[in-house]
Structures are given as structure tokens and as C-alpha cells.
Structure 1
Amino acid sequence: MKKKLMLYLEIQQMKGRGFSIQQIAKQLKVSRTTVYNYMEKTPEEAFEWVNSLGSRKKKLDPYKDWIVAWLQEYPHLNASQIQDWLLEKFPDFTVGESTMRLYVNQIREEYQIAKTKVVRQYEAVEEQPMGKQVQVDWGETRQKTQDQREIKLYCICFLLSHSRYRYVEWQNRPFTTRDAIRSHENAFEFFGGMPEEIVYDQDHLITVSEHAGDMILTAEFQAYKQQRKFRVHLCRKADPESKGKVESTVKYVKRNFADSRIYTTIENWNERCLAWLERTGNRRVHGTTKKRPVEVFLLEKQHLKPVSKLLSTESITGSSITRTVNKDNTVFYKSNRYSVPLGTYRPKGLNTVAIEIKEDTNNQQRLIIRKQPDGEILANHPLETSTGKLIKNKNHGRDRSKGIQSYKETVAQQFKDLELSSRYIDILMEKYPRYKRDQLAVLQKAALEYPTVIDEALQKCMSEHLMSANDFTDVAKYLAAPRKETPPVPPVQAVRADCADINVETHPMSTYTEILGGAAS
């Protein structure tokens, strides 16, 4: 309350000294609206108003500590982003946008947290009809990890020009043309259709060159364009109005979603971004259209051209996609998790698998997961069309039908030396008391995969004190791998004892030179 009165007195004093509204606002770090409000009040009105603030509770007061902490740590945050963070932290949180802006401005004034704005000017362009155009652009950000490291992330943004409905996809490495094609497929699936025209910048992933309207696309993207049959519109250089909508979207995604958000994994980051699109990115009233993109999209969706589920670029040609196995022995694909056998994830190994999409005899699409592109099948799942699901094969989980002792005996009997295998398993059980079943499952999987070498692997693990089921698997895999045989070294002939004193006749060098037709020097 005291700060409000002090601010009122300072504004009145500066007004008396002839300062302009803009000068007062700049020097006191408050908005011009605030200066106007304070200047219009008499001392009695100001005192009465300040006293009323003490008894009046505001809807956002319970969240004040969060808002102050965020603004102090990240002074550049805007009210829209803070509102989204509150929605993420408190799903039942509801407050109007204008209320949020006023409250954040009051917090800034109360705690003297200034914010600078950079305004970019755009020329107005005519609105596109429904279903005609999608604008595409790329962006990149630097994010902090939980251990305070900084990494670089890359995104591709799609924006339906009429409804302003958005789709965003992220990678932790730069995009390739194949990545861009895959993202287009995901975007068409997200939108439920495809527009007539797609607008791009002159990006090296899409074009080789462009001159006076004649453009040469990259070979891979040209093949994709011909297969999907959409029209390409390339922007001129230094022409932001051509795709200013999606450029604003990239800026919006970077400032509202990505800014100051902590990164964990790329799968989690994409999941959180999709949740942000549903919660904020596509739900907030658009500043130009004054409508919610999600509501306008329901109408525009009817004007999009239908597309097939998948393209040959990723499935029908048989080419595979690489994915990382998560710690919970799942593979992330198109916002869903698919299980792989327990023990596939290796704490110290290379946790990558190859996946491909195929149709079964019933024309149902299935997700095939292999250790190598041409290797044995680890998992075969029906392809899930919705998002956020866990598709799990019951055989991939722990064997809960047996007790630990019975399970241990079953695994031990896979070896010829039952006593030695039981002793090895006992050591594993003692070393990993919380992961007994996991260790047994990995050991059993290795015994099934490398049956001819498991006894030799067991001997080696015991002798070299490799006490982990994963170590055992590594040893078994090494022993089972084909290796080139080293040709045998011929044995050295022993010298017979009765020949040791034989004298060999020698000749002078001239004898050999005469035989060869030369002369002795």
C-alpha cells in the first residue's frame, strides 16, 4: 500500500515539474495508462483507493508467488505464457486473458520488473479460402536441461492459413529432407487432410534453386510432391508477407511454449508441445481473426483433401526408421508408446531399433520393430491411430505366473552346469535385490538367443567377475558372433639328434657366379 502512495506522490511531483506522460512512465517504469489513472485522482481519492486494496482479494492472489518467481527469473515472459504455465501446473485453473494481463502488469509495477518489447511490422494480406493453403517454416531454440546444460532443438511448424490451426514437430538434430517429408505426413494426419498449396521459404531441404519463378526442387522432395500432388509456392527473398503467418507461429512457439521450459527427452518435449497446442496454441483467441483456431478448423477441415494413412517413402518401399528404446522398454512412434521384450533396453548399450509399417492379410497396418533393419522381429503391434496410448504385448512384461524361486530354477536349467548357473544367479539376486525378475528375464532372453555359447559365456563371466545379466548377454553375443579363423602356424621341425654333427659342404662365391654367367669381382 505504501508503494502505491509513494508512486502517486512521485507522479504528481513530476507532473508539477512539467514532465510529459511518456517521460514519467519511462522513468518510473510503469505504463502510460497507470500514469493517467494516478494523475486523475485527488489525494483523498488516492488514499481511499489504496486503503480499499488491502481488503480486496483478487482471483490470482493464490498464484502470486508462482507468478512473481517466474517473472523474477525470466523477466521477458508475457502474460500469455504465464497463463499457459499456470494451466500446465494447475489443470483446473481458469481466468480471463484480460484479467491475466492486468494482474501481471500490477506484479511488474509492484516489484519493478521491467520488460522490453520488439515490434515487427507486417503488411496486411488477403485471407486465404478454407482448405487452400498451409504455410511451413523451420525454427531452432536453445534449451536448458535438468542438469543446467544447454542443447539446441529444431522445429518445423505448419499453419493452416485460413483457420490459423497449427502443428509443430521437434528434433534434437537438424532436419533432413526425409525428416521434412515425415513431418509433412504427420501434419496431414494431425489435420485430417491436405491443402491445395503449401508455402515455403527458399530452404535447402526443399529447393536446389529458384530463378524468376522457375524452381528446381530436391530430387527426394520432387518425388514426394508428385506422389502427394500438392502445389508448391516459394516465397521471394525479403518477402515476409508471403508467409508472415507461419513466421509469427514460429515466434509464438519459441516464446510461448519453448522459452525457459526445461528439456528432458525429445519424446517428452514433443508430447508436451502437442499438449500445449491443444491447451493454448490452437485454443487461444487469435489476435487478427479474433476467433479460436480450433473452432474455425472444424469448418476448414471439411475443405481439406483426404490423404492415405502412410506413404511409400517410409513404409511401402520397406525402408525403415530408426527409433530409440526407452528405459521402460518401449519405442515412441507418432505420439504412442509400443512395447518391446523386457531386457531390450541396455544401460550401457546402443539402444536403437529399426521400425517399419506393413499391412497384414486383413489390410490392417502394423508396426514392426527389429533390432536391425533386416534382423529378427522384436515386436509386431497393430498401428494405433489415436495418440497418447501404450500398446503393450503381455509377453513383453515380467513373467508373473511364477515365483522368483521357480523362475530362477527355470533359468538355471538352461545351462549344462546346473550348480554353476545356480551360483551365478544367486550372486545376481544378491547384487540386484530390487531387479531380480529383470535380471532373470535378461538372462533367459540371452539363453534363448545364444544357446550354443551360454555355457562358455557363464564360465567367462564367473572367471572375470562379470556379475550382471547384461554383461552376460554381451559376452554371449561376442562368443556367438562369426569370426575369421586364423590360419594355423606350421609346426617347427625338430632337429634330429643323430644329424646334429653333419658338416654341410660349402663353395666359394665364384662357383655360383660362373653358373649364372657372371664373373667374380
Structure 2
Amino acid sequence: MEKWLMFMEIYQMKKQGFKIRRIARKLGVSRTTVYKYLEKSPEEMAEWMASTRKRKRKLDHYELLIHTWLSENPDLSGAQVHDWLKERFADLSVGESTVRSYVKELREKYNIPKVMTPRSYEAIPELPMGKQIQVDFGQSKQKTTQGRTQKVYVICFVLSHSRYKYAEWLDRPFTTKDVIRAHEHAFEYFGGVPEEMVYDQDALIVVSENGGDIILTEEFQTYYRERKFQLYVCRKADPESKGKVENSVKFIKQNFAKNRVFRNIEQWNEQCWEWLERTGNGKVNNTIKKKPAEVFSVEKKHLKPITKKIIHSPINSSIARVVRKDNTILYESNRYSVPLGTYDKHNSVYVNATDDQKLRIHESMGGPIIAEHQLCEGKGELIQDRQHKRDRTKGIPAYMKTVSEAFQNQDKAMSYLMEIQTQYPRYMRDQLKIISDSVKDVPSNIRAEALNECVKSRFYSASEFKDVLTHLIRQQQSTKSTEMAIQQMSAGQSNYDNMKPEVRDLDPYLEVLEGAVK
């Protein structure tokens, strides 16, 4: 019957001109479901409903077993039933949502209500004026003017006695620095500081809680000591202990943020503060039956005055990040570039997100800025500064000029190098290095001769130039060796004037000749 009612509501809303997206949002279903229902006429829907009532379902075979489990364990959940079925019947393929629906029907069919163990509460007397502020965080997804979805984050402060509220939004997750700044804004809004602040165990404020020993984050610990208020941290999984702010966050999300179009964070905060004056603090509270703004006018006098403003500069909000091999750092699931060579010089750098959505990267804590990027809202993106890219063309002309200066005819050498660049544009730096290394300690005349020979023979390659140069060097060395030998012989000619040739005995030759005659 519920499906038939759903069909009728969808059918009527579509007839009234509602769009599919709006129908799905109002009824809390997906657009696919809306399309599925709209494809059927009332007659087809009735036939389909009748077929589903007659159709045998997969879990009907296990009805008796599930009924037994529910009878013996009234507090059994649908998720547990699904797990028990998988444990006993490995071949059973059924979704958890199907099991939950089936369990719900069996409970109605056999009148087996689920036994709940509710938590016992007791009324707590209202706290004195100026005693306590409760703090909590929330988030919401809003439609933008471009039709996209923007996730926004809120921190809410509530005076426990008057229920007077203050809220501040960001279009990115809060940092500890943001939390501290929001505290200062809230105290300015309230006109004073309470005796006690109540927090959840949020990682921006609390590092750990062990049997009452609270360890705060370093930044918040510094701020807490300067402001000198009492601090109360709720136990884990105990949101009821700060129920006033929990309700306030829900009120802000449901009454202010719901269905509101997001344009920019500045306008969003201004609209929220106007809403606080008009509705959040101007509407009668259901518990105290008074307007928070009226009660606050009296409670404000009981807050401790703000004697000085906290200077945020001593609080360091920089976060260390490891420099990756590709000279990038990872921040909130995105990669941001740093100058080439940073990886070789520094193992880590420090990043700081500014109020104007900039990410500044420092080479050391409080050191000079080596890179600055616009924060990216997406995930898995590479944000790269053009100056951080290797300009592979930059330096080649200067390199060519340097190499050409090693030759007597620099213009001819430059023309030759330009021809090589035409042949090997991708490897020009390597070509230049080979030529530069090969001409070291080589006489200028041999360099010139090698260049002339390569141009004449059209050898436009560094390896061919090197081969020609090597051949000429060997040829010169061979010529020098010959000249040295001739010079030595010429210099020692007078020593051979008195020398006489050796005279051998003729007997061995006569013996050979006699044998030939015989």
C-alpha cells in the first residue's frame, strides 16, 4: 500500500508541474525511483502491485527460521539477521536492505515489536547566567548559483542559560586557527567570556582523553591558557551532554541552510547573522518559553569582560608536509607544486592555508615563502605553477653560444649547432654536452679542422663530430711520432760513420748449395 501511496504522490506532483529533482527531494527518494513510477500508468501500477503480492519471494523459504530468531531475540536487528543467514547459508545471495524490509514485515505480521533499551534522562536545573557556552560543529551541502553542490562547514556557540547563539561558516574544513578565530568573534558577539566552555572530543581541540586527563592540541592549549576559561570535554559517544548546542546546530541547518542557495562565503555568513537576529535568537525557545535575545540582555552582564584581544601571530598554524620526488606536496588530497630542486634540498616544507583561500608553502617553520597556490576544492588534482615547470627550451640558446665560443669561427660553429638542433631537437642538450666534453684540452686548430670537415661532409651529429675529432687527434699524434723519429735519426747520423757491417761465415750456405746439386 505504501508503494501505491508513493505512486499517487509522485503522479499528483508531476501533474502540478513539479520537476523530477524537486519531487525526489520532497519525497526523500532518488530520481531513478521517480522515473520508474512515472513510466507506469495507474492501471499498470495496479497490475504490478497485484503481481508483487502474488509473487513468491526469495526469503519466504526462511520465514520460519527468521520468525524463530525474532521471537527468541526481540532486539535482533535486520543487519544481524542478514549476517546470520549468510553464516548458515553461504549460497544465499540477498541484499541487506531486502532482509531489513522482510524483517520489518515479519514483525508487523507476527506482532513482534523490537525491544529497545532507551537511555534514562533526568531534568537538569538551568545553569546560572554567564556560566557556560557549548560549542559544536556541523556541515551542510548547498546548491550554488551554477547548479553545483557546495559543502559548507559551521561552528556554533550557545549560551546555556539564555540559548543565545552565534554561528560562523567556512567553505572548507576548519583548522585549529579557524576555531580560535571563531572563538574571538563569538566572544565579541556575546560581549564577554563565560566561566566554562563545553566541547566534544574534536581533533581540532582535543588530542586525547584518558580517564579525565585531557590533552589539547598545541595551538588550542596556548589559546586556552591565554583566555583562562574553564574547560569541559564530553565523553566519547555522549552528544546528549551538550544537547543545547546539538539542537542549535540542527536548528541552523534545518531552518537557515536548508534549500538556501549558496553564492559566496561572505554573503552566506551575513545572511546567517541576519537570520540569528531575526529567528535564531529572536524566536521563542520551546524550553525556556522566552526569546533568547531578551534573556541575553540580562545574562550579558554576567559574562567576564574581554580585557584584551588575543594576538594570533604567536600561534603557528603551519603544517609540515613531505616533499615528494616529483617536487610536489600533498594537501587535502591534492598535489601542489614546489620549485624544481626542492626535493633535493629539503625533506619537508611547511604549509599554511590563509583566509583568502591561498596555500602558502614555506621552506622552514616561519621561513620564506617558496610557493603560493589557490586552494583547490576538488580531490586528486595537480595544482602547478608555470614557474615550477622545467622550461626545456630555456638555456639551450645560451648553451649553444657557450659551446660555439670554443671554436675560432664562432658563427660557423653556431650554424653547425643549429643544424644539429634541427636533426635532434629533443636531445639537443645531450648533443651539446658530447661536443663540449670532446673539445676539452683539444688544440684550437684541430677543433677548427674537425668543424670544417663535418660541415663539408654534412656530419650533423655530435657523435660524428667526436669521431672526426678523434681521428684528427690520432692523425696528429702519428705525424708527431714520425717527425720525432726522423729528428732523432737526423740528430744521431754522425754516430753511424765508423760503423762496419757484420760479416757472416759462408760454410752454411755452401752446404745448402751442395745438397741442391746432388
Fold-level similarity (TM above 0.5) = no
Please state which band the TM-score falls in when normalised by the shorter chain: 0.3 to 0.5
TM-score by length of 1: 0.42
Greater C-alpha radius of gyration: 2
TM-score by length of 2: 0.42
